């Protein structure tokens, strides 16, 4: 074998291995794309396709192409004889709970995280590990924990009663006010079912996320900025308003939007703590798809509308952010 021959052989081998790795590189993205299509897009389009299906009374549903479900969402099934905004109301409550609970979580997590970043490294690590581990508790656990905390015989109402607070409220005449607000029965205060319990639990649910999302931004914040402001005579509230908040505005807005989207789909907390009059679209979707009703098309319609509304909100939030940025 001549040198030239062996050289050309080496060259061929190199090209072959090149070719092989080249093929591997082309195939991988396609394989990943296929996985994404099968696992994400197909179910997604399936939901959209099912939302045009038709329910057969007293039985299941069939494939079809009808806009009846969408019409029902906005005006009810009896339209045009009768109009109901039941489903819009549920959508409204979905947004209401998610907005209030995510804002509440961010607003309380912000000062906490700020104080956290001022602790020693060791203390910070301990807190973060604790908060991260609390994420392993499922929604169900958290809801049931609060359920017990707010229960008549074992929770807050029992405390009210045993400390005489209930009697005091009755003597002062404020008990009637609580009853008017739906926070008391003739015997004692009660916190379930109420918007108070629903929003409280939902905030609690996402609070660790808020801390973890805000922590990187706040820990990177240069303390000398606030210190400089203080030496120039700014009060604490002025420092917070003019130095800290503006410098973390982006992570604040981002965190709120993320938690908001996360909370739109809350199911257990709403089922347990909210009055049926104030149930959300997520709960309605489940009751429709469940066997008791077998109306998957209408459930899918509600899911699609919830998704579209959430997307609109996110887009608006994004635009608002860009507008503020540009200003």
Partner 1 sequence: MTQGQTIGITRAQEFPFEASVCPKFSRMPLHTPGFGSVFVDRTKPDARSLGITWGAVGSAGTTATGSKDITMTGLNRRSLLKTGAAAVAASSLGAPLIAQSRSLKIGSYGGYFENSFKEHVYPLFTEATGIEVESVTQPNSTDWLVTMQQATAAGNVPADLSLYARDTLIKASRIGGLLAPLDLTKMPATSNLDGYFVFEASEGPLGVGAMSWFTAMVINPGEVEAPESWAEFWDNSTYDQSLGLSRNYNSQFLDIIAATFFEGEATFATEDGILALIEKAAEIKPNVALWWSAESQMEQSMKNGDVIGGQYYLDVANLMMADGFPIQPIFPKEGNPQDYGSWCLSAISDKTDEAAEFINFSSDPATQALMSRKIGTAPLVDKSKTDLTDEEFTFVSGTPSIKPAYEAYLDKETFIKESWDKMLAGA
Q: For binding to partner 1 (CB under 8 A), which residues are involved? A: 55-60, 76-78, 84-86, 89-90, 140-141, 143-145, 147-148, 151-155, 179, 182, 184-187, 190, 192-193, 268, 271-272, 275-279, 284, 287, 290-295
CB of 146 to partner 1, least distance (A): 10
CB of 285 to partner 1, least distance (A): 13
Q: Tell me the longest C-alpha to C-alpha distance in the chain.
A: 110
Comparison of 268 and 303: residue with beta carbon closer to partner 1: 268
Comparison of 113 and 271: residue with beta carbon closer to partner 1: 271
Comparison of 109 and 296: residue with beta carbon closer to partner 1: 296
DSSP-derived secondary structure for 167-190: HHHHHHT-HHHHHHTT-B-SSSB-
Comparison of 29 and 291: residue with beta carbon closer to partner 1: 291
> Residue holding tokens 């299941």?
60
CA distance 60 to 222: 61
CB of 93 to partner 1, least distance (A): 9
The answer to whether the beta carbons of residues 299 and 70 sit under 8 Å apart is no
CB of 153 to partner 1, least distance (A): 5
Q: In angstroms, what CA-CA distances link 145 with 3, 154, 189, 195, 264?
A: 79, 11, 19, 17, 21
Comparison of 151 and 321: residue with beta carbon closer to partner 1: 151
Beta carbons within 8 Å of 306's beta carbon, 6+ residues apart = 91, 94, 264, 265, 281, 282, 285
Specify the pairing of strand 61-62 against strand 54-55: antiparallel
Comparison of 109 and 189: residue with beta carbon closer to partner 1: 189
Beta carbons within 8 Å of 76's beta carbon, 6+ residues apart = 82, 83, 84, 85, 86, 87
Comparison of 110 and 156: residue with beta carbon closer to partner 1: 156
Instruction: Copy the structure tokens of residue 175.
Output: 């008990």
CA distance 259 to 30: 33
Does the bond joining 80 to the residue before it have cis omega, within 30 degrees of 0? Answer: yes
CB of 276 to partner 1, least distance (A): 4
CB of 27 to partner 1, least distance (A): 32
CB of 74 to partner 1, least distance (A): 13
């Amino acid at each position: 074998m001549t040198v030239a021959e062996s050289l050309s052989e080496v060259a061929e081998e190199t090209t072959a291995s090149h070719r092989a790795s080249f093929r591997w590189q082309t195939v991988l993205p396609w394989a990943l794309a296929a996985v994404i299509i099968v696992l994400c897009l197909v179910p997604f389009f399936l939901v959209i396709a099912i939302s045009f299906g038709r329910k057969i009374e007293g039985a299941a549903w069939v494939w079809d192409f009808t806009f009846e479900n969408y019409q029902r969402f906005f005006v009810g099934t009896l339209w045009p004889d009768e109009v109901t905004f039941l489903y819009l109301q549920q959508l409204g409550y979905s947004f209401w709970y998610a907005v209030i609970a995510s804002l509440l979580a961010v607003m309380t997590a912000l000062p906490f995280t700020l104080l956290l970043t001022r602790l020693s490294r060791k203390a910070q690590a301990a807190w973060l590990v604790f908060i991260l581990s609390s994420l392993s508790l499922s929604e169900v656990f958290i809801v049931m924990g609060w359920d017990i905390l707010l229960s008549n015989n074992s929770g807050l109402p029992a405390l009210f009663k045993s400390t005489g607070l209930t009697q005091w409220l009755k003597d002062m005449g404020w008990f009637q006010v609580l009853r008017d607000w739906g926070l008391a029965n003739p015997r004692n205060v009660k916190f379930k079912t109420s918007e108070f319990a629903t929003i409280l639990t939902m905030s609690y649910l996402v609070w660790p996320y808020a801390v973890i999302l805000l922590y990187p931004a706040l820990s990177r914040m240069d303390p000398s900025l606030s210190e400089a402001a203080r030496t120039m005579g700014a009060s604490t509230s002025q420092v917070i308003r003019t130095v800290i908040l503006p410098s973390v505005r982006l992570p604040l807005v981002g965190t709120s939007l993320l938690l908001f989207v996360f909370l739109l789909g809350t199911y257990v907390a709403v089922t347990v703590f909210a009055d049926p009059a104030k149930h959300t679209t997520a709960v309605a979707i489940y009751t429709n798809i469940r066997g008791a009703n077998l109306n998957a098309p209408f459930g899918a319609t509600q899911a699609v509308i919830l998704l579209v509304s959430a997307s609109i909100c996110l887009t608006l939030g994004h635009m608002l952010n860009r507008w503020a940025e540009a200003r």
